[in-house]
Amino acid sequence: MCPLRKRDTRVHGTNGTGGRRRGKNGEAFGLPINFGPLAHWVGFNLRMAQEAAFQAFSRHSQEIGESPGRFATLTLIARNPGISQTELSLANGRDKSSLTPVVEDLVRRGLVERTRMDTDRRTYCLNLTSAGKKVLTNMTRCARRHERNLDQLIGERERKKFIRILKKIAAEIE
């Protein structure tokens, strides 16, 4: 019943390449994958690239035992001392409720200090401790290595334009 992809007619028929094994990405078992419209669409390729970059970053940063998401969090606190959790979640593109356990963990581990704001007892002020600064310094070194890889892939020339487009998508969609 099943058309037996390993001998799918397209190989001998419409798809005349005959090249059935490239083995790197997106295809397997001898038949190249047909991505159809996905191949040209921004959304799909964004997701695949993001996933790949995320995985690569994870591999890099696990040397120092910190997950990629934490890195942006620590950087944003470092650069915006006294930032509130809501501001942080917005800047980070995540829901504020996702931040609760992250901040709790960072506080528990002594990387972040959390005090109530004087003029509004609801909001927290987040700051790095000196331990936090030290960890961030190490993470930043790792991240720079990772970024250098990406830069090499993209090329210095294209990078600015590329990032400009990414920012535009993040800011202006819909």
Partner DNA sequence: AGCGTATAGTTTGACATCAAACTAAATGCC
Partner DNA sequence: GGCATTTAGTTTGATGTCAAACTATACGCT
Contact set with DNA (CB under 7 A): 28-29, 51, 55, 67, 69, 84-87, 93-104, 119-124
Query: 69: which residues sit within 8 A by CB, 6+ positions away?
Result: 94, 102
Query: Nearest distance from residue 28's CB to a copy of itself, in Å?
Result: 5
Please say which residue, 67 or 158, places its beta carbon nearer to DNA.
Answer: 67
Query: 151: which residues sit within 8 A by CB, 6+ positions away?
Result: 159
Measured distance CA(102)–CA(4) in Å, rounded: 48
Please say which residue, 123 or 138, places its beta carbon nearer to DNA.
Answer: 123
Please say which residue, 28 or 131, places its beta carbon nearer to DNA.
Answer: 28
103 binds, among DNA, a copy of itself, none (CB under 5 to 8 A by kind): DNA
Query: Nearest distance from residue 101's CB to a copy of itself, in Å?
Result: 19
Please say which residue, 79 or 109, places its beta carbon nearer to a copy of itself.
Answer: 79
157 binds, among DNA, a copy of itself, none (CB under 5 to 8 A by kind): none
* Helix 130-154 with 156-172: angle, nearest 10 deg: 110
Query: Nearest distance from residue 98's CB to DNA, in Å?
Result: 3
Measured distance CA(151)–CA(40) in Å, rounded: 23
Nearest to 132 by CA among 156, 106, 171: 106
Amino acid in position 102: V
- Long-range contacts formed by 126-129: CB under 8 A, 24+ apart: 126/77, 126/82, 126/83, 126/84, 126/85, 126/88, 127/77, 127/81, 127/82, 128/74, 128/77, 128/78, 128/81
9 binds, among a copy of itself, DNA, none (CB under 5 to 8 A by kind): none
Query: Nearest distance from residue 53's CB to a copy of itself, in Å?
Result: 5
101 binds, among a copy of itself, DNA, none (CB under 5 to 8 A by kind): DNA
138 binds, among DNA, a copy of itself, none (CB under 5 to 8 A by kind): none
